[in-house]
A and B are shown apart, each in its own frame.
Chain A
């Protein structure tokens, strides 16, 4: 593995020295560089490519927000992390669309190391620089127009409460991903990982959500020609796979973290598809055509057209946004279990099964060749006999969700 390059920016030399010493054990993963301010950082970046920038917020001259914004525009592929002792919400809100992850000073050395290692690994998910540029620039993902309208309407009504907002946001993969990114950043003062969108909304609170939605407009609605694919179907599929994956995980495991991760990864497993259809709709149309003409799976067609599957693209985005490793892995490998060492039941397996079973029950939604269950892995874990039960769970959830959809 080639070494990644990280640039630390802080006006306090002791901080830089401390980081340099502390991260000595990562010297085989990273080349470390240091800048005492925004101007110097930009000069360094003009000369060389950097994979990660970790900047302080409050610096004389150009502050961290300004610096990271410039980097986002000029060097979009670079992963942008803010490490700061500043905690006022206003300056954080200012950087929401710019910063991939927030870390609070003082930062636990082990946490910083694990983030850098995860980030290095993430870089290897995607090889295409153009796609990296595209994904790293994304501050916010578009939502389903119907859901977006509903949220705007309810948030402006007099008797709005937080549970109502949670129920809407939970229905939308783009909104869910964004609130979880925010709530898990160090700045909202929550120190345990949150993996449920409704809980994230509760923790952010009504006032913050209002500012985010009405003031900062972190949610937008998707604007693409419906001829490419049915948006309703994409959203329905994502949410339903999330629920089926959760049900399967709950049947196979007692581990609440695993069950929560299965749900979240299931809900977000097609987020790469959302990125592609909203940013590269014409190319995505080609991928669909290729899948149909050559009768190959859509994943393979994506590989042909984009040089990467939507799963890898989604995983890369979710990784940039600071989601935990099991979720990134589940999104990345649910469609490619063979390249993922599986020794026990994992969220990736739950999402894989949920996704395949969903299409088995709704063949009319399949584009290209249909995906099959990875029996080799299932047999390896002695789970092949469970498929019948999973199919039951799949049917139950499909029925509930279809009825829920009709009611609306």
Chain B
């Protein structure tokens, strides 16, 4: 009996050991799986407090495991919307999963890194259950899509430039032909009118000379009548002005077409061109004149610059982004005051670095969001006014494509100045 009991006991113990080993293996496999799975995984309890987070999740969020576990998931990484406004916990899909057992798939939400920056993420959240099918919390897997989204945005941006390039080259040719003969004819009309005017002056003298002579009375009368009808003095005064203004208009169209052409040049090919930054700025200002002319006076102070190797269209795009931002910043302030604001662009070259500064008299960037203005998809503008990509793309263009630097200084209530630094 005793041996039987002993052998039973030994058998049981062996079985337990075996099970323990299996459990260890499963746990090990689990943690390995969690660790190396291609995605970030966070599990929370019913209150939303973090129980577990894998390496991918910790890396993406910037926390260490010790710091992160036990914190409230929502308040730590999901507290605000992309515009910075509060995101209440009971609106969170994770909350819903825990409450009613539903699963959610969300694309393009915003998560927050420990350092205060945000990123775009896709995630799936599902409830976790115990053996009694009671909900114990939730598991969330997410992917940081910022890089992918930014790549996509950059790709769309270059496609846009390319199609603008193609379109404007075609349009330029179509516009330039009529502009050429409009210009030629105007120049001819202006000269001819001057010649006729000189002639009329002499005719006038002739008329004065024969006034009172009876045989010319009929002609003098007729001349005076026609002069009166035509309002000769008015014609002589206004016609040259009309020519000058029209010439000015033609010149403006010419410049616009040139500006568009220079601006779109970048779309054609990936190589850098030596360019005059001041010219790129002038062209860009012509192209986006409409964006600021009702809200701000433009002031430019161009220093002497050596040519620099750039993608001219990309730099033009950065200038336009910053000018449009400046105009928006001013428009927001202007709503209250009704006065015209000021945008001031200056350029200089010191120690082989070209600096472009774009200063606005807008409301400035609030302390709280300064850190995040370059984050992709971050925007404080209402829907339709800004995609939140302008500054992020600008930064990519300046930093990655030109090894330069894009930075800013801002004073609330006074305005913001952006600086683009490009090495020669």
Contact = CB atoms under 8 A, between A and B. Distances in A.
B63 to A, nearest CB: 46
A106 B172 contact: no
A14 interface: yes
B173 A109 contact: no
A60 interface: no
Interface stretch (A203-211, A258-266, A397-405): A203-211
A18 B173 contact: no
Interface in A84-104: 85-88, 104
A361 to B, nearest CB: 35
Interface string A187-214: 0011100000001001111010000000
B262 A22 contact: no
A12 B187 CA distance: 19
B185 interface: yes
Interface in A300-326: none
B153 to A, nearest CB: 28
Given A15-B181, A189-B262, A205-B274, A106 B191 contact: no
Contacts of A14: 178, 181
A120 B191 CA distance: 22
B413 interface: no
A25 interface: yes
Interface in B184-199: 184-185, 187-188, 191-192
A61 B272 CA distance: 35
Interface residues on A, range: 20 to 34
A144 to B, nearest CB: 26
A85 B309 contact: no
A106 B261 CA distance: 14
Contacts of A24: 188, 191-192
Nearest to A58: B173
Contacts of B380: none
B179 interface: yes
B160 interface: no
A46 interface: no
A19 B261 CA distance: 25
A15 B183 CA distance: 10
A22 B188 CA distance: 4
B191 A18 contact: no
Given A87-B172, A109-B183, A12 B177 contact: yes
Contacts of A203: 274, 307
B273 interface: yes
Contacts of A87: 169, 172, 261
Contacts of B307: 199, 202-203
Contacts of A17: 181, 185
A107 interface: yes
Interface string A62-106: 000000000000000000000001111000000000000000111
A106 B188 contact: no
Contact of B273 (A105, A106, A205): A205
Contact of B188 (A21, A162, A190): A21
Interface string A13-45: 011011101101100000000000000000000
Interface residues on B, range: 20 to 34
B180 interface: yes
Contacts of B182: 18
B3 interface: no
Nearest to A113: B187
Q: Chain A interface mostly helix, strand, loop or mixed?
A: helix
Given A12-B177, A87-B169, A205-B274, A106 B254 contact: yes
B176 interface: yes
B18 interface: no
Q: Chain B interface mostly helix, strand, loop or mixed?
A: helix
B394 to A, nearest CB: 24
Given A14-B181, A18-B181, A21-B184, A106 B274 contact: no
Interface in B139-170: 169
Most-contacted residue by chain B among A17, A58, A189, A202 (CB, 10 A): A189
Interface string A94-137: 00000000001111110000000000000000000000000000
B184 A18 contact: yes
Given A202-B274, A202-B306, A205-B309, A106 B169 contact: no
A14 B184 CA distance: 10
Nearest to B272: A205
B132 interface: no
A333 to B, nearest CB: 32
B85 interface: no
Interface string B204-223: 00000000000000000000
A48 B250 CA distance: 36
Interface in A161-200: 162, 189-191, 199
Given A22-B185, A162-B274, A203-B307, A15 B191 contact: no
B185 A106 contact: no
Nearest to A109: B187
Contact of B169 (A19, A88, A205): A88
Interface in B302-323: 306-307, 309
A85 B185 contact: no
A21 B272 CA distance: 42
A17 to B, nearest CB: 7
A204 B274 CA distance: 7
Contacts of B188: 18, 21-22, 24
A17 B181 CA distance: 8
Interface in B50-98: none
Contacts of A162: 274, 309
B271 interface: yes
B306 A15 contact: no
Nearest to A107: B180
Given A19-B184, A21-B185, A87-B172, A106 B179 contact: yes
A85 B181 contact: no
Most-contacted residue by chain B among A22, A106, A204 (CB, 10 A): A106
B180 A15 contact: yes
A306 to B, nearest CB: 40
A207 B181 contact: no
A114 to B, nearest CB: 13
B118 to A, nearest CB: 40
A135 B405 CA distance: 51
A192 to B, nearest CB: 9
A18 B180 contact: yes
Contact of A105 (B169, B180, B276): B180
Interface in B251-297: 254, 261-262, 265, 271-274, 276, 279
A60 to B, nearest CB: 14
B273 A85 contact: no
Interface in A187-244: 189-191, 199, 202-205, 207
List 10 A-B pairs, minimum CB-CB distance, nearest first: A18-B184, A18-B181, A85-B176, A21-B188, A22-B184, A109-B187, A106-B180, A106-B179, A205-B274, A14-B181
Given A15-B184, A205-B309, 17 more contacts: A15-B181, A18-B182, A18-B188, A21-B185, A22-B185, A22-B188, A24-B192, A85-B177, A87-B261, A104-B176, A106-B180, A106-B183, A106-B250, A106-B254, A202-B306, A205-B273, A205-B274
